[in-house]
Structure 1
Amino acid sequence: MSIRYYLWKKSYQLLFTIILIGIIVAFSTSLHASKNELFHTAAVQMKTFGYNFLHLSEMTIEVGIFSKQTPLWSYLEEPFVYSFIILSASFICVFMLGILFSYGAYLLSPRMRKIVKECLFFLQSIPDVMFIFAVQLFIIWLYKKTNFLIVDPVAGLKNIYLLPILVVSILPGIMLFQMTFLAIEEESKKAYVEFAKAKGLSNGWILLKHILRNVVVTLFSHSHYLFWLLVSNLLVVELLFNIHGYFQLLYSVSNTPDVFFVCLVALFLPFFFIEVVFNLFAIKVTGKEQSE
């Protein structure tokens, strides 16, 4: 697949996705209308979305008890940047630790690998909400017993980073660890690995120089699944940690359809472009789109 063809295809997908988001929001906000007026009301709402999207610099939002008109982006910037920092740091942690732990697990004995697989299966079965709540309870319990507060378990009026990044990262990290570990085991059964072993190369060298390169390309191309898992975890974390991030803002503007539409598109765009960059890397290395 050529890079030019891929970019054209992703451009059409981007346009279609933005239109689809607009249609969903328009119809969901037009449900109060009668059946005869439903499509007309949704069409008018879509027209408003299109105009506002093309004139983002002119959009304003009412803020505070005095309904002060504030430029939309200046209102979105702080929670957007805050949440994006948490997601970006979590992704980097997940990716680095997932590969590092997979490398270490591959060097274990077959019996120990089996134990690792069983532990991963158990940890992945824990619901996100229960896990996040358990982390909060552990920090509070430790503080009561030792009078030592590792990190603040509730944000309040200030931004906290360490604990949200840690909690958002753990379950996706376990998933990535499992994916990478299984991909390494599958790759290690191929003929070139057997040939390298026959030449006397060590497992660590083969893994580092040959297997990981092929595995990382595949993981990069499926990064959008990991990002959306991180997003779903951050949604829960913001609620339980009382974090004033982007999802709290989304909830607060849900009664303003045009602002809600712009906020959803702004949430989607960074992950879309990151996926495009990772897939371009995969195309450059393998000559094809890995997610096909």
Structure 2
Amino acid sequence: MKNVVLIPLKYLLGLLGILLISCAPVLFSPGQLFDIRLFFQTCWQVLTDLLRPAEWQLNYRVPGTFDMVDVSFSHYLSGPYLYSMPILIAALLFALLLSYGLAMLVMLSKGRTKPIILQSTKVLESFPDFSYIFLIQIAVVQIYAVTGYLVLDFYSLGGDLVYLAPILCLSVLPTLLFFKLFVLLFEAEWKQPYVDLAKGKGLGNTEVLLKHCTSNVLKSLFYQSKSIVWLTISSLLIIEHLFGIEGILYYLRSDFTPKGITFILVTVFTPFFLFYAFVELMINKERIERNAVFGKFSLHFLDVTQLRSLISSIFRRERKETTKIFPKLRSVFLSRLKITIPSLIVLGLFFISLFYFLFFDDQVGQTQYLYADDGTMLSSAPHPPSAELPFGTDPYGYSIFQQLLVGIKYTIAITFIIATVRIAAGYIFGFIYVFYLNNRIRKAVTSIADGMHFLPLSLLVFILLVPVLINHGDWTTTLTERLAIQILIMSLIVLPITMSSIGNEMNETLKKEYVQSSVLMGGSLIWILVKHINPQLWPKLVLNWTQHVVQVLQMFVHLGILSIFVGGAASQDGAGRLIPEIYELSGMIAISREAFVTQQFWMILPPIFVFMLLIYCFNTIAEGLTQKKPVSVPVKKEKAVNAQKPVETGIARFTRLKERNDIG
């Protein structure tokens, strides 16, 4: 009964978070930067509109014109909302069924089939999600060229609704993620004793997987599916944009006001929140709470004697490890190639781009027209790849190869900074979450974190960055200020999730018996943190850091498609699109829709490949971090020497004993 009462409270907390995020863009309005008073006035106005059904309407921009008309909220729900949501739900269900079938196939396969499928999955997972649209389109075009039959329609024009192509494209990424999760859960269940018991009774592998393992796996799959749903909702927005679907994203960009943003986000949040809340209620999910030991004992923050011991141990460890640093690095390099090789690839790309800046000052050539030797014009921009232009040019004639050389360092550096700030802020606030917040506040934070899994992250960042990074006049902020604000927004938008996740990892360490013994013996808070929590938490923080790097790279792709570039972009007279302030990979993705329609794929394939290579490298690093290093058992020398002695036969031993008795 208590959990039933908590559901409305958690829902209200989720609505409060949506309200604050929807009104946050006014904090970055030109000339009114960080105006807290205006922010709360806007929140109050939106809240009063929510309580008046007469104000439930959106502004709709007629396609191809600048005309704006009012659309009732009921029309939005019955029209674009019921167009987008079935695509999302159908893609998730199709991904779930397909991934389950593939996981069963892998578990029942023998020989090299399993590793080949798993390796192929890791490669496919490295593709940015929207790139599957181009792969599927190329396949459809080839089928049409051979058979004359158009398998799929790829664009929504003149009110025609397309379903099959968006569902297939949207389902690729969740299929890969569900498949990976199914395999991990099945492998864990396959080691349980009941599996051996079932086999002993004569059940086959297929029957054990279907009747026993599947039912045990579904519960864990349900809890971990939130992150997959979270990523799929973000991908839906990109699918809508590339297919020309007038769905949720189109209406949000038409009515980019705090009230319109709030209404649309509430419609996305509500169905998923209710589904997960009531299913969790049915299966009685147990929350992770703080260890009871720390509720009874008040820990002092710092002890001088323990501080001296910590400092002296740090210096002793540094002196000891300094003499062994090079042998240790060599050992790590040789034994953990799965980590070192992709790390060297990423660092190599970064330094190549950095050297291009140092020696060529980030020059990007422009070629508007190509001429033959006799002076006749061969082609105008965009130019396809050729000997003079290895990767071709963009629509304005700028070399794609040189843009890559300039932009790689910015993408890698800013991605690293955002991922690092996320983990550092999550660690600091996770520490506060565990040791200084009471149960009610921690439950509120956990509820907000759970609610954020049902809001598209790319859309939230898009909402907050539009007033900061898009300019239609003179800039009121410097490039450094815009970069700082962008890093801050993209880092702190996931703070409730990272704080809750890292805090729960800390809490698991606090439940260890040796930690409780340290508390009873007078250990201070800093002593427990440094000596007990950090050694257990550090590998998981590094793993989380690599996962955040991949997430930020995917987010840059989404934002680039929506014309949100690193450092900002300005509109210029005569330019058909926004012009980025700096050359960066996400800015090269912005023309993906034009390339999608005109079949000029060379303009976006190079940046897609770089993104894919970076994502693949960090996925490989994360996989290497999760694999346990095999422990080698040393062989004692005595045993080795004894093994070399000749074995005394029974007859020889009997003769030797008889001779001894005769002498005696």
Normalising by structure 1, report the TM-score: 0.88
Question: What does residue 147 of structure 2 align with?
Answer: 146
Identity of aligned residues (%): 28
Task: Point out the more displaced range, 33-42 or 142-151.
Answer: 33-42
* Paired residue secondary structure (1:159): coil
Aligned-partner residue type, residue 113 of structure 1 = K
Q: After TM superposition, give the deviation of residue 82 of structure 1 in Å.
A: 0.5
Cα distance in 1, alignment partners of residues 53 and 27 from structure 2: 23
1:16-67 per-residue CA deviation (whole Å, 9 max, x = no partner) reads: 2211221122231243376698121111111111112222354233445665
Query: For the residues of structure 2 that align with 1:32 and 1:117, how far apart are their CA atoms?
Result: 47
Partner of 2:217: 215
Amino acid at match of 1:42: F
Cα separation, 2, equivalents of 1:124 and 1:173: 10
Please state how far the C-alpha of 1:85 moved relative to its aligned partner: 0.6
Whether the aligned pair in 1 keeps the contact of 2:198 and 2:208 (CA below 8 Å) is: yes
Give the match for residue 61 of structure 1.
58
The reply on whether 1:23 has 2:17 as its aligned counterpart is no
Report the Cα distance in structure 2 between the residues aligned to 1:134 and 1:142, rounded to whole angstroms: 13
User: Does residue 1:242 correspond to 2:244, yes or no?
Assistant: yes
Which 5+ residue runs of structure 2 have no aligned equivalent?
289-449, 451-503, 505-664
Residues 206-229 of structure 1 deviation map (CA, whole Å, 9 limit, x = unaligned):
111111001112112233222222
Inter-partner Cα distance in structure 2 for 1:12 and 1:257? 23
The partner residue of 2:254 within 245, 248, 252 is: 252
Tell me how far apart the structure 1 counterparts of residues 209 and 74 of structure 2 sit (CA, whole Å).
46
Q: Select between 227-236 and 272-281 the one with higher mean Cα deviation.
A: 272-281
Q: By how many angstroms is 1:135 displaced?
A: 1.5
- AA in 1 matched with 2:127: I
Structure 1 residues 134-143 or 100-109, which shifts more? 134-143
SS in 2 for 1:160: coil
What is the match of residue 268 of structure 1?
269
C-alpha distance in 1 between matches for 2:251 and 2:67: 18
Q: 1:33 to 1:268 in 2, by over 3 A?
A: same
For structure 1, the 5+ residue unaligned runs are: none
1:38 aligns with 2:50: no
CA distances 1:163-190 after superposition (whole Å, capped 9, x unpaired):
1111111221111011101110111101
Moved more, 79-88 or 144-153: 144-153
Contact 1:223 1:275 (C-alpha < 8 Å) held by counterparts: no
Give SS of 2:99's match.
helix
CA shift in 2, pair 1:222/1:280, >3 Å: farther
CA–CA distance in 1 between the matches of 2:181 and 2:71? Answer: 45
Tell me the distance in 1 between the aligned counterparts of 2:218 and 2:264: 32
Please tell me the residue identity of whatever aligns with 1:273.
Answer: L
- More displaced stretch, 205-214 vs 226-235: 226-235
**Relative to structure 2, which stretch is displaced further, 80-89 or 150-159?**
150-159
C-alpha distance in structure 1 between counterparts of 2:147 and 2:114, whole Å:
36
2:211 alignment partner AA: K
Relative to structure 1, the CA distance from residue 189 to residue 89 in structure 2 (aligned partners, 3 Å threshold; closer, same or farther) is same
8 Å CA contact 2:26–2:38 kept in 1: the answer is no
Aligned CA-pair RMSD = 2.4
For residue 72 of structure 1, what is the aligned residue in structure 2?
Answer: 73
**Structure-2 separation of matches of 1:228 and 1:37:** 29
Instruction: Tell me how many residue pairs correspond in the alignment.
Output: 285
User: SS of the counterpart of 1:61?
Assistant: strand
Q: 1:14 aligns with which of 11, 26, 47?
A: 11
Structure 1 counterpart SS, 2:28? coil
Task: Give the distance between the partners of 2:130 and 2:286, measured in 1 at CA.
Answer: 38
Residue identity in the other structure for 1:177? F
Q: Which amino acid aligns with 1:174?
A: L
Counterpart CA distance in 2 for 1:249 and 1:225 is 25
Q: 1:77 to 1:48 in 2, by over 3 A?
A: farther
CA contact under 8 A between 2:27 and 2:35: conserved in structure 1?
Answer: yes
Q: Deviations over 1:97-126 (max 9, x none)?
A: 222222222111153222222121111111
CA contact (8 A) 1:238 1:245 kept: yes
Q: 1:85 — aligned with what?
A: 86
Residue in 2 that maps onto 1:95: 96
Distance 1:130 1:36 in 2: 37
CA–CA distance in structure 1, aligned partners of residues 70 and 179 of structure 2: 47
What is the alpha-carbon distance in structure 1 between the residues aligned to residue 81 and residue 192 of structure 2?
44
Contact 1:221 1:289 in 2 (8 A): no
Picking from 211, 226, 229, the partner of 1:227 is 229
Distance 1:35 1:61, change over 3 A: closer
Q: How does the TM-score come out when normalised to structure 2?
A: 0.40
Q: Which range moved further: 8-17 or 217-226?
A: 8-17
Distance 2:113 2:67 in 1: 63
The corresponding residue for 2:424 is none
Query: In 2 relative to 1, CA 203–87 (structure 1 residues): closer, same or farther, beyond 3 Å?
Result: same
Give the Å deviation of 1:203: 1.1
Partner of 1:186: 188
- Cα deviation, residue 78, structure 1: 0.7
- The letter of the residue matching 1:74 is H
Q: Is the 8 A contact 1:221 1:278 kept in 2?
A: no
Residues 88-127 of structure 1: pairs in structure 2 closer than 5 A: 88-109=89-110, 111-127=112-128
- Which 4+ residue blocks in structure 1 deviate beyond 4 angstroms? 33-37, 62-68, 289-292
Q: Which has the larger radius of gyration?
A: 2
Residue equivalent to 2:131 = 130
CA gap 1:62/1:196 in 2 versus in 1, 3 angstroms: closer
> Following the alignment from structure 2 to structure 1, what is the Cα–Cα distance between the partners of residues 40 and 29?
14
Of 158, 161, 182, the match for 2:163 = 161
Residue 80 of structure 1 and its aligned partner are, at CA, apart by 0.5
- The 3 A distance-change label for structure 1 pair 262 and 135 is same
Checking the alignment, whether the CA contact within 8 Å between 1:217 and 1:281 is kept in structure 2 is no
Letter matched to residue 202 of structure 1:
G
